[in-house]
C-alpha cells in the first residue's frame, strides 16, 4: 500500500470543510477518499469508515456522535455529509 497522505492536501481539505463539519470529520473524509482511490483496498468504491465526535441534535444541543460512511457513498468521492452523525447515547 502506498502512502498517499499529503499534509498540504489534508490542511486544504480541513480549511474547506471544517467550519461546517468539524476538523475530525473533515480529516476522516479526506482519509476515506485516499482509501477509496486505491483499487487494491476497496471494491467498487465500497467500504466503511467512521469517526467519533460531536454533533448537534434537532434542538441544537451538542451530543456525542459517531459519523459512519453511508451505504452507497463512493469512498473515492465522498463528501463530509456522506458520514451521517448518529447519537452515541441512543446507540448504547
Q: Determine contact, residues 38/4, Cβ cutoff 8 Å.
A: yes
Q: Model-level pTM? A: 0.90
Instruction: Give the list of residues 6+ apart from residue 14 with CB closer than 8 angstroms, or none.
Output: 23, 26, 27, 30
Q: Determine contact, residues 33/76, Cβ cutoff 8 Å.
A: yes
**3-state class (DSSP) for residue 7:** helix
Taking domain 7-91, whether its CATH number is 3.40.390.10 is answered by no
Q: Hey, how many other C-beta atoms are within 10 angstroms of the C-beta on 45?
A: 15
Q: What is the tens place of the pLDDT at every residue in 58-79?
A: 899 999 999 999 999 999 999 9
Torsion, Cα 67 16 22 32, to 10 degrees, reads 30
- Give the pLDDT band of residue 57 (cuts 50, 70, 90): confident
Q: Where are the domains of the chain?
A: 7-91
pLDDT of 7 above 90:
yes
pLDDT at 45: 74
Amino acid at each position: 500500500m502506498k502512502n498517499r497522505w499529503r499534509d498540504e492536501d489534508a490542511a486544504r481539505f480541513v480549511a474547506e470543510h471544517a467550519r461546517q463539519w468539524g476538523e475530525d470529520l473533515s480529516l476522516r473524509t479526506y482519509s476515506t477518499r485516499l482509501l477509496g482511490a486505491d483499487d487494491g483496498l476497496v471494491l467498487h468504491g465500497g467500504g466503511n469508515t467512521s469517526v467519533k465526535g460531536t454533533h448537534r441534535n434537532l434542538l441544537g444541543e451538542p451530543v456525542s456522535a459517531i459519523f459512519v460512511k453511508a451505504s452507497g457513498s463512493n469512498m473515492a468521492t465522498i463528501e463530509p455529509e456522506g458520514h451521517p452523525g448518529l447519537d452515541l447515547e441512543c446507540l448504547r
